């Protein structure tokens, strides 16, 4: 593996010259540049990123932390982040915290070890104290980590109202809401709040049932769906995440409950999951790609010392489907 010194020797110039020619497009005379390029080609020289990193004290890498990537919401998100970061010149280090003991600690430490220039934190965290003293660039994705950590998320108040309006057009009387864990306060949790306000103003009964913390699998929602139909025989509307509502649809069909005649369903997230089944779900869609783009741009700004706002909020949209 050729090093810069070899190139310098081959080109008959000094190491410094080679470095400058390689990193600064308008350094040196054409003749010198030519010689250096030739030597690079001949020796098939490729600079060592490790050495550059140490020298420049940066890695051009951003850590993306999510609970899991085997979930349509996070899959879309990670795809969007990777793409945006790539075009900004950054690499993506993927970290999934679910299934791993205490992985959050480890990933935060990776940040401190300067393995990454910054991180985008999309995983739930029970212990937000971890983030208090952090000096490194960090952005929270739909999470409250610390008052001084910038956050990007959907306007869930609007989301909640969109969902409410969808149900209100169909004269529902008893709506069950499936929420994530109540243990941790997230922006996403707030759509229930906005939703409830509207529903109660219209005299509609609502109940909330919760999934366990950090549950992003497909089994628990199915169990919960069964429980909902067992416990609330008069339910005529359900609001919850894509996965939860898909589970309800599945169970409802199995039980012979007609959708949307007897039961209205609105999915919150609006990932591809709601669009590629037999029935397209009515859904409030989070602008995942745009959120990803903003998060990527912002983390890069912060890395470059250009911190501005502490919060970026993008509006969701309603996708009309066949279930409400």
Partner DNA sequence: GTGAAAGCGCTAACAC
Partner DNA sequence: GTGTTAGCGCTTTCAC
**Residue 299, both tokens:** 């983390």
Using only C-alpha atoms, the chain has a radius of gyration, in whole angstroms, of 25
**Interacting residues toward DNA by CB under 7 A:** 1, 3-5, 12-17, 19-20, 22-23, 28-29, 31-32, 45, 47-48, 50-52, 54-57
Q: Which residues pair with 178 in a beta bridge?
A: 209
Contacted by 17, from DNA, its own copies, none: CB < 5 to 8 Å by type: DNA
Q: Which residues pair with 61 in a beta bridge?
A: 91
Strand 237-241 to strand 264-269: parallel, antiparallel, or no bridges (unpaired)? parallel
Contacted by 29, from DNA, its own copies, none: CB < 5 to 8 Å by type: DNA
Contacted by 31, from its own copies, DNA, none: CB < 5 to 8 Å by type: DNA
| Complex with DNA: residue 17 or 98, whichever CB lies closer | 17
How far apart CA 234 and CA 269 sit, in angstroms, is 25
- Identify residues 43-82 at the interface with its own copies (CB under 8 A): 46-51, 53-54, 57, 59, 61, 64, 68-72, 75-76, 78-79, 82
Minimum CB–partner distance for residue 276 and its own copies (Å):
5
139 contacts 302 by C-beta, under 8 angstroms: yes
How far apart CA 53 and CA 60 sit, in angstroms, is 8
- Identify residues 249-308 at the interface with its own copies (CB under 8 A): 249-250, 253, 272-273, 275-279
Per-residue binding string, its own copies, 209-228, x by CB under 8 A, is ---------x----------
- Identify residues 81-120 at the interface with its own copies (CB under 8 A): 82-83, 86, 91-96, 99-100, 103, 109-110, 112-115
Longest dimension (CA), the chain: 85
How far apart CA 18 and CA 259 sit, in angstroms, is 69
């Amino acid at each position: 593996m050729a090093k810069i010194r070899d190139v310098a020797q081959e080109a008959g110039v000094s190491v410094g010259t080679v470095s400058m020619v390689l990193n600064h497009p308008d350094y040196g005379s054409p003749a010198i540049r030519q010689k250096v390029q030739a030597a690079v080609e001949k020796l098939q020289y490729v600079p060592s990123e490790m050495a550059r990193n140490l020298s420049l004290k940066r890695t051009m890498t951003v850590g993306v932390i999510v609970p899991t990537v085997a979930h349509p919401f996070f899959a879309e998100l990670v795809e969007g982040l990777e793409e945006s970061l790539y075009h900004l010149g950054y690499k993506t280090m993927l970290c999934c915290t679910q299934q791993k003991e205490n992985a959050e600690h480890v990933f935060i430490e990776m940040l401190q070890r300067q393995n990454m220039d910054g991180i985008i934190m999309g995983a739930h965290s029970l212990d937000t104290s971890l983030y208090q003293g952090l000096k490194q660039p960090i952005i929270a994705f739909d999470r409250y980590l610390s008052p001084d950590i910038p956050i990007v998320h959907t306007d869930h108040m609007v989301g909640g109202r969109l969902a409410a309006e969808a149900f209100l057009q169909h004269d529902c009387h008893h709506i069950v809401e499936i929420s994530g864990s109540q243990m941790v306060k997230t922006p996403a949790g707030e759509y229930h709040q906005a939703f409830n306000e509207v529903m109660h103003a219209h005299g509609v009964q609502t109940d909330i049932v919760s999934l366990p913390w950090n549950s992003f699998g497909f089994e628990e929602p199915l169990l919960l769906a069964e429980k909902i139909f067992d416990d609330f025989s008069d339910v005529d509307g359900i609001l919850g995440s894509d996965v939860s509502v898909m589970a309800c649809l599945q169970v409802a069909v199995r039980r012979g409950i007609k959708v949307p005649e007897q039961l209205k369903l609105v999915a919150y997230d609006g990932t591809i999951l709601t669009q590629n089944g037999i029935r397209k779900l009515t859904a409030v869609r989070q602008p995942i790609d745009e959120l990803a783009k903003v998060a990527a741009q912002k983390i890069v700004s912060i890395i470059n010392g250009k911190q501005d706002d502490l919060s970026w909020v993008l509006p969701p949209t309603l996708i009309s489907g066949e279930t409400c």
